[in-house]
Amino acid sequence: MAVLNKIRQRSLFLILIIALALFSFVLADLFRNSDALVSKSQNIVATINGKDITREDFLQKVEVAQRQSGPNATNTQVVNRVWDQEVRKAVMESQYEELGISVEKDKMRDLIKTALATNPQFLNEAGLFDENKLNEFIANLKDIAPQPGFFNGQPITYADWTNYEQNIAVNALQQNYNNLVKAGLTGTLAEGELDHKLEGDKVDIKYVQVPFTAIPDSTVSVSKSDISAYIKAHKKQYEVEASRDIRYVEFKEEATLEDEEAIKAELNMYLNGRLVDETGRKDTIVAFSKVNKNAEYINIIAGSSEKYEEEFVFKNSLPTTFADSIYNLKVGAVFGPYKHDGHYKLTKLIAEKNIPDSAKVRHILISYLGARSATPEVTRTEAEAEATADSLLAVLKRDRSKFPEFVTAFSSDQGSVQNEGRYDWHPYNTMVPEFNDFEFEGKVGDLDVVKTVFGFHIIEIEGQTDKKRAVDVGTISKKIEPSEATINKIFRDASKFEVEVDKNDFQEVANESSYTVRPINGIKVLDENITGIGSQRQIVRWAFEDESKVGDIKRFTIPSGYAIVQLVAKHDEGLMAVEDASATVLPLIRKEKKAQMIKDRITATTLEDVAAAENTSVRSASAINMKTPTISGAGREPLVVGTAFGLDEGETSGLIVGEKGVYMVQVTKVTPAVELDNYQAAANRVEQRKSGTVNSKVYNALKEAAEIEDNRARTQVQ
């Protein structure tokens, strides 16, 4: 009871203690995750000239760009592309706002008209741009949103159209801005005169060169302190981002020789056939050469990874290395097993026939509602389309001269309307199957209606090349891949290595098992690719996590198997380390030291004496100018040429440290540029050169001057 009374008496004190403890716990967690103190940082991908780009908005644009880019573009590539677009947009918008540049509604309409002036979708019967058609098109897109309409034969939503208009506006703003910059760039008469003299003033010289190569590198010592001092003296050139060094061992899930032999054995079973007595019944596999139902045999029974569909091809479409062997087979014969494109294959020549390898046709497409690529203007039913095609065919059979007229009036294939519906010479299998069969299996002059996924085509065959042999082949294909036993062994090997390197030296353990260690240095926070294993953002993220310490080991699953990775070093943002900079700094310091050594040992003051002392010769160069500071026999030497132009005729310079050695020069002749009555033409050339650099240089200069805070890594959009 006494204890309870004491607790009651001190209850307020205890509550305060507990509250303080909880508060300190929360504070500690906040400081461990400092971003939580500023909630903005969690949702802001970038701040550019004071404008925030939110994570949600950025990722929406990445999603759209990913769809447009297709499956071949990696997420990092798309993110970087969107990042560049957003940075450009923000940098330039700040300029537009400051200058008050905008694209008003009337100007926007004019820009769209200009962009679509020749688009067939918006032309009237006279071939002129019809604004009413454009208005109807936009209104229709808005009404059916979010469903797509069609623009230039491609699906487009109202949101896509809005983006299209925005892109036109952005391009116009950029052009206006560049024009304003160009308007402020002039070439003055003084600049024109200077430019004329830089090119026209010429000097002839005699010179002696003592090349840096005259002193062996081995005789010039460069210490770490020399390199460090050089880096500090040239800080801007050697500032680096934060980076990481890693090393890894890859465990590839690759087929072994035993796995490949097993695949070949399976194909040989299909080649020769098999009769097996299992549990009292006969399991028969007929030889590939003897089957009639080839599609069922290849696709279902053999389970080929390369599916069979009847299609005739010419010899040049067969695998190059094996084309002769396959093409020269007799019908029913089989070639293989052979190794091609990561597979083992058996190929059977199923049929042959003679067909032209190219044809020329003209056609009229009558599309209908629901047909592929049908535009919103198409409202006729399939039955109505067929009836229209049949009635047009009846007229054309009587008078083929009406074909061009009918193409213009009825054809839905805008890609061929301008050419009277004609598709000039094109190879076999270019068109959809039904169209292809008609034009290559018919004869010149044939005219008929053919239905495809696009609608009803009225086709006339206008020409065919001479017929030649084509073959229909069926292939049983088996991908060369590791067996389950091989995959299990690779997993065990990777696991064993992971355990051992956690306790022992990474390189030593790898050497014991003859594994190759791949060192990768200088990885940046937004990098994607790891040399040897491709796109691996997961490894880069891990290497930059605060929790990852130097020496840590982690296993990653990669497309080819596994990678056991060790974090070797962390390099903070700042000046480049001496070890990393030595490759580029060392030659520069050697050059400085060699120049001083050469200068220290030369006491002569004439070209001839210097040449004699250094066992070299006096050389000549004529018509040197300042605009292209190149010396015959020595190469580009701007400082040496500049010094020569500062001398009078007959005057000799002191020692000059150039790009490739130490020089002494003597001017033998000075030829001034021809004086002009007027330097306006030269001034105009200066102005043109300035204007020509605006499009390529202005944005880069603005970007460099902009305040850009990049939070992509922190907000994990990559």
Q: Tens of pLDDT along 575-590?
A: 888 888 899 999 999 9
* pLDDT (tens digit per residue) in 127-183: 788 888 888 888 888 888 888 888 877 788 888 888 888 889 888 899 899 999 998
Q: Is the dihedral angle over the CA atoms 422, 426, 432, 434 positive or is it negative?
A: positive
Domain termination residue (choose one: 572, 603, 622)? 572
Taking 70 as the threshold, does the pLDDT of residue 509 lie above it? yes
Mean pLDDT, the chain, whole residue set: 88
Q: Are residues 126 and 206 in the same domain?
A: no
**Mean pLDDT, rounded, for 448-457:** 95
State which residues form the domain around 161.
Answer: 105-183
* Residue 551: how many other CB atoms lie within 10 Å: 11
Structural domain count of the chain = 7
Taking 80 as the threshold, does the pLDDT of residue 277 lie above it? no
Q: Are residues 179 and 125 in the same domain?
A: yes
Tell me the pLDDT band of 79, cut-offs 50, 70 and 90.
Answer: confident
CB 357 within 8 A of CB 465: yes
Q: Is 693 inside any structural domain?
A: no
* pLDDT (tens digit per residue) in 615-633: 999 999 999 999 999 999 9
**Non-local CB neighbours of 619 within 8 Å, separated by 6+ positions:** 206, 207, 208, 209, 633, 634
Query: How far apart (Å, rounded) are the C-alpha atoms in residues 414 and 410?
Result: 10
Tell me the pLDDT band of 696, cut-offs 50, 70 and 90.
Answer: confident
Percent of the chain with pLDDT over 90: 60
Tell me the pLDDT band of 716, cut-offs 50, 70 and 90.
Answer: low
Tell me the pLDDT band of 711, cut-offs 50, 70 and 90.
Answer: confident
Taking 90 as the threshold, does the pLDDT of residue 596 lie above it? yes
Taking 60 as the threshold, does the pLDDT of residue 646 lie above it? yes
Tell me the pLDDT band of 278, cut-offs 50, 70 and 90.
Answer: low
Taking 90 as the threshold, does the pLDDT of residue 347 lie above it? yes
Tell me the pLDDT band of 650, cut-offs 50, 70 and 90.
Answer: very high
Predicted local distance difference test score (pLDDT) of residue 127:
79
What CATH number does residue 505 fall under?
A: 3.10.50
Q: Is 232 inside any structural domain?
A: no
Q: Is 406 inside any structural domain?
A: yes
Q: Are residues 77 and 132 in the same domain?
A: no
Q: Are residues 213 and 142 in the same domain?
A: no
Least-confidence region, from 35-44, 46-55, 339-348: 35-44
Task: Give the count of alpha carbons within 13 A of 47, CB side only.
Answer: 8
CB 470 within 8 A of CB 352: yes
Query: How far apart (Å, rounded) are the C-alpha atoms in residues 210 and 634?
Result: 11
Q: Is 190 inside any structural domain?
A: no
Q: Are residues 364 and 444 in the same domain?
A: yes
Q: Are residues 117 and 130 in the same domain?
A: yes
Residue 514 is which amino acid? Answer: S
Percent of the chain with pLDDT over 70: 92
Predicted local distance difference test score (pLDDT) of residue 491:
96
Q: Are residues 568 and 614 in the same domain?
A: no
Predicted local distance difference test score (pLDDT) of residue 283:
67
Taking 60 as the threshold, does the pLDDT of residue 72 lie above it? yes
Taking 80 as the threshold, does the pLDDT of residue 280 lie above it? no
170 exposed, middle or buried (CB, 10 Å; 0-12, 13-18, 19+)?
Answer: middle
Domain termination residue (choose one: 334, 355, 376)? 355
Predicted local distance difference test score (pLDDT) of residue 163:
84
Tell me the pLDDT band of 276, cut-offs 50, 70 and 90.
Answer: low
Tell me the pLDDT band of 717, cut-offs 50, 70 and 90.
Answer: low
Q: Is 557 inside any structural domain?
A: yes
CB environment 394-423: b (16+ within 10 A), e (fewer): eebeeeeeebbebbeebbbbeebbeeebbb
* Integer-rounded Cα radius of gyration of the chain: 38
Tokens of 612: 């004699």
Query: How far apart (Å, rounded) are the C-alpha atoms in residues 393 and 451?
Result: 13
Residue scoring higher pLDDT (19 or 488): 488
**Mean pLDDT, rounded, for 91-98:** 89
Least-confidence region, from 229-243, 450-464, 555-569: 229-243
Q: Are residues 87 and 114 in the same domain?
A: no
Taking 80 as the threshold, does the pLDDT of residue 429 lie above it? yes
Domain termination residue (choose one: 634, 656, 671)? 671
Q: Are residues 369 and 350 in the same domain?
A: no
Q: What is the DSSP letter of 475?
A: E
Q: Is 194 inside any structural domain?
A: no
Query: How far apart (Å, rounded) are the C-alpha atoms in residues 358 and 439?
Result: 9
* Closest-CA residue to 246 (of 539, 495, 500): 539
Taking 50 as the threshold, does the pLDDT of residue 36 lie above it? no
Taking 90 as the threshold, does the pLDDT of residue 64 lie above it? no
Q: Is the dihedral angle over the CA atoms 233, 236, 238, 239 positive or is it negative?
A: positive
CB 655 within 8 A of CB 599: yes
* Closest-CA residue to 655 (of 615, 611, 602, 619): 602
**Mean pLDDT, rounded, for 275-299:** 81
CA–chain centroid gap for 662, Å, is 45
Residues facing residue 348 across a β-bridge: 334, 474
* Closest-CA residue to 221 (of 661, 586, 672): 586
Predicted local distance difference test score (pLDDT) of residue 8:
46
Q: Are residues 343 and 264 in the same domain?
A: yes
Query: How far apart (Å, rounded) are the C-alpha atoms in residues 467 and 355?
Result: 5
**Non-local CB neighbours of 360 within 8 Å, separated by 6+ positions:** 422, 423, 424, 425, 426, 461, 462, 463, 464
CB 82 within 8 A of CB 73: no
* pLDDT (tens digit per residue) in 456-471: 999 999 999 989 999 9
Is the bond preceding residue 337 a cis peptide, omega within 30 degrees? yes
Q: Is 228 inside any structural domain?
A: no
Tell me the pLDDT band of 320, cut-offs 50, 70 and 90.
Answer: very high
Q: Are residues 341 and 363 in the same domain?
A: no
Q: Is 685 inside any structural domain?
A: no
Query: How far apart (Å, rounded) are the C-alpha atoms in residues 397 and 404?
Result: 14
Q: Are residues 217 and 273 in the same domain?
A: no
Q: What is the DSSP letter of 331?
A: T
Least-confidence region, from 71-75, 194-198, 559-563: 71-75
- Chain position carrying tokens 């105009």: 684
Query: How far apart (Å, rounded) are the C-alpha atoms in residues 527 and 543?
Result: 11
Query: How far apart (Å, rounded) are the C-alpha atoms in residues 563 and 556?
Result: 5
Tokens of 30: 């906040």
CB 465 within 8 A of CB 384: no
**Do the bridges between strand 518-524 and strand 243-252 make them parallel or antiparallel, or are there none, so unpaired?**
antiparallel
CB 249 within 8 A of CB 518: yes
Measured in residues, the chain has a length of 718
